[in-house]
Amino acid sequence: MDVSLLPSEIAEAQSAFPAALAACADLDALNRLKGAYTGREASHAARMMDLLKAAPKEQKRDLGAAINAVKNAWDEAIKARQLELAAAKKAATWDPTLTPPMPPKGALHPLDRLMGRMTEAFRPLGYHIEEGPEIETAANNFDGLNIPEDHPARGSSDTFYLAAHPELLLRTHTSPVQVRVLARYGAKGADGVSLLEKKGGLRFLAPGRVYRKDEIDPTHSPMFHQIEGMLVGKGIGLHHLKGTLSYAMRALFGPDTKARFRPSYFPFVEPGCEMDVSCPLCAGKGCRVCKGSGWVEILGAGLIHPAVLSHAGIDAKVWSGFAFGMGVERTAMMVSQTPDLRLFFENDQRFLAAMGGLD
C-alpha cells in the first residue's frame, strides 16, 4: 500500500501497530487497541476519515485507497489476534478433571439383540444352539425336508444357486439345520447306539441368515434372519408344541401374551400350522400393527413329518417331535414399529441409536 500519501502521524501509528498488537496480552488489551486504531470516534481511523474529508478533491481518490488499505489491514490483524487470544484463554481454562468427550460406544445390532432375546426365551426349556452353513446343499435345503422335486422354491428365480456348483445354494431357510442335526443324532455310533438314543431326545434352536431372490422393498430383503427350533422325543404331540411355544411367547412378549394356532402347510411337518400371538403392542385390542385384528403372525410350525425323520435314519414309529421357524425381521419390525425393513441393514447410526443400540 502507498503509505507515503498518509500524514506523518498516521504513518507513525501504522509503523507502531505490529508491536502494539503483539503486546496485547489479553482480550481487554486488544479491545483497547481496537478502539484506539479502528474505533468509530477518537481513533486513528476516525482521524484518517477527517483527513480524507478535508483533502483537496484531486487527492481524494488515492488518499481514500491508501486509508482503506491501512484500515483493512488493521481490522484483519486485530481479528486474527482476537482468535489467538480466545484460543489461549480456552486452553488456560481447560479443566483436566472433566470427562473428555467420548467416542460413541459400540453395541450389538438391534437384530442381534432381538435374536438373543428370542433364543433366551427358550433357554429355561433346555434348548441349545446349533449352527449350519449359509451355503447349503440342495439335498439339505430341500430333499431332506421332504420338499418335492417340482416345488417352486427350488427354482432359480426364487433361490440363489452357486454358478460354479449348481448343487450348492444359499440356504433359503434355517430348516436345513434340522437335516444336519437329525443326521448327526440319528447316526449309529461304533457301539451301534445313536446319539438320539443315548440322550433320549434332542432340542435345539438354530438362528441365522437366509437368502431368497426377493426384490428389495420395505418388507422384503434378499437376506434376512430366521430362528429354527426343533424337539425330538418319544410320544411328542401337538400339545407339546403348543405348550412350548406359548411359554416362549410369554417369556418374549410378556406374561399376558396369548397364542393361537391355524392349520397351514409345510412339506416337512404334518400337521403344519402357523401361530399368531395377541398383538404385543395393543395387547389384542386392535391397532395399526395388527391391522385391527388383535393378532400377529409370528411363526410356522408343526409335527415333524415322518419322512424327515426316516431320511435321517431315525425310526419314525419310535420317535416324534415338532419344529418351528420364526422370522426375525418381521418380529423386529413389529415390536419396534419400524415400517421399513431396510433400516435394519443400512446401519445409519441415528436409527441404531434410536433402537437403543448405541450409548
Max intra-chain CA distance, the chain? 121
Q: How far from chain centre, in Å, is Cα 124?
A: 28
Minimum distance from residue 288 beta carbon to ligand DAH (Å): 25
Yes or no: say if 355 and 108 are a contact pair by the CB < 8 Å rule. Answer: no
- C-alpha 154/C-alpha 169 separation (Å) is 10
Any idea what DSSP says for residue 342?
T
Find the binding residues for ligand DAH in span 167-186 (CB under 6 A): 173, 175
Scanning 57-65, 81-89, 103-111, 322-330 for contacts with ligand DAH by CB under 6 A, the matching segment is 322-330
What is the total count of residues that contact ligand DAH (CB under 6 A)? 11
Kindly state the smallest distance separating residue 239's Cβ from ligand DAH, in Å. 16
DSSP 217: B
For residue 124, cis peptide bond before it (omega within 30 degrees of 0): no
Nearer Cβ to ligand DAH (154/173): 173
CB of 346 to ligand DAH, least distance (A): 24
269 binds ligand DAH (CB under 6 A): yes
Closer to ligand DAH by Cβ: residue 30 or 269:
269
Find the binder of ligand DAH among 300, 309, 320, 352 (CB under 6 A).
300
Cis omega (within 30 of 0) for bond into 271: yes
Q: Are strands 223-233 and 320-327 parallel, antiparallel or unpaired?
A: antiparallel
Closest CA to 129 of 116, 142, 143: 116
**CA separation for the pair 181, 163 (Å, rounded):** 27
Look-up: residue for cell 420364526? 326
Minimum Å gap between C-beta 197 and ligand DAH is 23
Q: Which is nearer to ligand DAH, 267 or 357 (CB)?
A: 267
Residue nearest to ligand DAH (CB): 325
Q: How many CB atoms lie within 10 A of CB 184?
A: 14
Burial of 297 (C-beta count, 10 Å sphere; 0-12/13-18/19+)? middle
By CB under 6 A, tell whether 305 contacts ligand DAH: no
Residue from 7, 321, 27, 334 nearest 186 by CA: 321
The answer to the question of residue 132 lying near ligand DAH (CB under 6 A) is no
- Shortest Cβ 262–ligand DAH spacing (Å): 12
Q: How many whole angstroms separate alpha carbon 298 and alpha carbon 78? A: 69
Question: 302, 321, 343, 344: which one contacts ligand DAH (CB under 6 A)?
Answer: 302
Task: Report 323-352 residues binding ligand DAH (CB under 6 A).
Answer: 323-325
Q: Please identify, among the stretches 62-70, 79-87, 297-305, 312-320, the one whose residues bind ligand DAH according to the rule CB under 6 A.
A: 297-305
Minimum distance of ligand DAH from residue 290's CB (angstroms):
20
Tell me the closest approach of the beta carbon of residue 127 to ligand DAH, in angstroms: 13
For ligand DAH, the binding residues (CB under 6 A) are 173, 175, 228, 266, 269, 300-302, 323-325
